[in-house]
Amino acid sequence: MRQGVLLFFLLVPFSSAVSQTPQSMQATTKATSQPTKWTDDDERAFLAKALQGDAGSQMWLACGYEQGWFGKTNFPEALKWFRKSAEQDNPDAQNNLGEMYEKGEGVTQSYALAAKWYRMAAEHVPNLGGAGGGRNNLGMLYLDGHGVPQDYVQAYMWFKLVDVEPNPNLSFAKAHMTPEQIVKGEQLAAEWRSRHPVP
Alpha-carbon span 143 to 149, nearest angstrom: 9
- Rg value, the chain, Cα: 17
Per DSSP, what are the bridge partners of residue 10?
30
Residue pair 152/177 in contact (Cβ under 8 Å)? The answer is yes
**% pLDDT > 70, the chain:** 82
pTM as predicted: 0.80
Residue pLDDT, tens place only, 134-187: 999 999 999 999 999 999 999 999 999 998 888 899 999 999 999 999 999 999
Residue pLDDT, tens place only, 47-69: 999 999 999 999 999 999 999 99
Q: What is the pLDDT of the chain when averaged over all its residues?
A: 83
Alpha-carbon span 134 to 155, nearest angstrom: 12
- 70 versus 114: the higher-pLDDT residue is 114
pLDDT in the model for residue 34: 54
Give the residue extent of every domain in the chain. Answer: 113-199
Q: Is residue 16 over pLDDT 80?
A: no
